[in-house]
A and B are shown apart, each in its own frame.
Chain A
């Protein structure tokens, strides 16, 4: 198996041989920051293109075809357009909060993105409380959304923000509880440990029925966290025009847009890491030659493959289902998903103890 830790370790040693430790670290930080930002932007472009093509496929259309072969450059062109757009100054908005909101949303998203383990040695920090960190930092985004809705001085945005607050905080619970189920199974909050443990059986197989239930709950709740699909009430195009980001233009709108797509990626990536083995190839105990073949596929491809599988599920749901109403949305969480997650935790405890 080819792991990226070879490359990262080599860069680290190379810098340390020529520079003081402090300077070496500093340069590494800058490089990592640049790489993360670039990957973030590039992934967003890929995701936007993928969504447009998949959505077109579901809707019996062709999707973008004009810019570049098969329209692959369409999202690049869109990005250039959005960068050139004017930032409209709106009368009587709380300018500071209005500007801050877009940054909060994207910062929360980038910080979560940085903590994902793409491969062995290909993550920024390997916290021993990795799962906790992911949950904590990703929920910061809701503050940005609430601020955006509130500071825009627009009734639609306030309704959108209120919906968003109710929705994100509710679904955070099921999200967290279903991840806790897996943490109970693996006994660690450290992402690298969790992935390493899934060497011979991914958690979804290892954890049996409780893990499958947790995976389902996580997919639903995580999908709701991204404000998409049947859960896009905060934006609810046909009701609130664009919800909390109605008043934003140019790159500030772009920030919300990017964050939305990357949040979808992050949710899918966490699902892949915790339930589907992260970058770990598919290994079946006893089938040594099969495992060898699987090992030839680089782990980073495994990671992205699993993640894109989860993203495809999300897109499929989004383009098939109508939107829920706010009371149905909260009923689903508080009356179905949350009790189910709590029961599931008990189930997982029994599973871990007795099996």
Chain B
């Protein structure tokens, strides 16, 4: 009997089903907190909460907690719970067990109206406080007369007031508190600000130059992609997914394709796998180049930004030829890729590899060795490995802290099993590590591309699919490694051509809570630089 089976056998009250390395554990909501803390504290510590999916099953509301264990990262547990109360659903919070749950629970609260007892912050996350109804409930009324376009700004005092619901020994207590005290010097960084990488609203309490508190507010570019997806067919959803994290949109799109293909049990031609992998890695390079440049620009070095953009342009040109699009490549489709590669594709990519290697040296020369840049990044923004896991700060940020979390290694998808590459890990977790890891990953991506580009197998570039794609009934979960962290797709299908529920794990959202953790106590200039070093993309947070 494997360790995980032993562990799960302890929960007599839970119904456990298994599908290879994926385990589903359904527990009643009274037992949720106990089960969660035992899973977290067992020998097989499930310390990484990947995502919380809020569900409306029709007659009941529920949550699904996707858990992973950093020691044996291939094991994934979906911990499920439900509540029948649709009027005032309350589920115990797990934010004391996993720090990242705080924001996820707020998101579920915002969309489904479930309140989490003992979560220290039960404000809505994306929608305004005065929004009526909960959009992801199936009985939600989307009539614009109920929620007209507001003509006034949201009251800042309202944004500070935090409602909390606490349950101790069966006694329910509701209260509110204010995030900032009277007389605190609170500065708004954003929603319109040159360095928040999108419309992120950080309310920052300052003491001179020193940051005391940070309160991130989301939702300024919230488009309700998850809600829209419920009315769209699968090929249509593909177009929305590019618009979330526009810098690694191709990778995320790949993730959705893989999830749907998993559901259809569709055999994708090997050629498509290779092409997708190469395009993914090119996207990763482009995204890291922009991330590198933006971080440098946040620190005041505008030239470095232009250098990054210049090299990114080469990749954009390759995309334009093969995919038609530049930023939104629109390339992966269900069953393969949209078109075959352009005749110039292989030649151009092969030209690009030595060019980029040369330019990487230049980037190091320009910025990595610069004494001011080194001085700025020294000793600032320490994120320990434990904290990174607790916050779910995956991707390069987590790897800079020494957390091995590369999905390409954990669950090799597409053609990654055919390429030899290293997962870049650093141990210090400082700003400099998060900076240098991106340049190192560019070099590693080049290695992957180099191995694959000459070996693209022949054959069809896409499998034949039916005109109308209907997913069989069930739940499908797919993880891919986006440019700034793990991107998960969760699809709940009822056998229709529309999904019943779609949830995307945003890697950027957890990065903002990491910003909150590492920037407190630093200076204003550091806040901006740390934001650049985490490299979040706001449309991905807001979805």
Contacts and interface: CB of A to CB of B under 8 A. Distances in A.
A54 to B, nearest CB: 11
Contacts of B310: 60
B184 to A, nearest CB: 12
A320 B366 contact: yes
Interface in B298-349: 298-304, 306-307, 310
A325 B306 contact: no
Given A230-B372, A322-B301, A159 B307 contact: no
Contact of B303 (A58, A233, A241): A58
Contacts of A327: 209, 523
Interface in B340-385: 366-367, 370, 372-373, 375-376
Most buried by A among B206, B306, B307, B310: B306
Contacts of A61: 306
B474 interface: no
B528 interface: yes
B194 to A, nearest CB: 5
B294 to A, nearest CB: 9
A236 interface: yes
Interface string A307-330: 000000000000111111111100
A59 interface: yes
B300 A60 contact: no
A51 to B, nearest CB: 12
A159 B194 contact: no
Contacts of B206: 159
A324 B303 contact: no
B296 interface: yes
A91 interface: no
Contacts of B517: none
A238 B306 contact: no
B301 A321 contact: yes
Interface string B495-530: 000000000000000000000000000011111100
Interface in B368-413: 370, 372-373, 375-376
A321 B528 contact: no
Nearest to A319: B303
Contact of A321 (B194, B372, B524, B526): B372
Interface in A60-117: 60-61
A328 B301 contact: no
Contact of A324 (B185, B209, B306, B376): B376
30 contacts: A58-B303, A59-B302, A59-B306, A60-B306, A60-B307, A162-B208, A232-B300, A237-B194, A237-B300, A238-B195, A238-B298, A238-B528, A239-B195, A239-B525, A319-B302, A320-B301, A320-B303, A320-B370, A321-B301, A321-B370, A321-B372, A322-B300, A322-B301, A323-B376, A324-B372, A324-B375, A325-B525, A327-B523, A328-B372, A328-B376
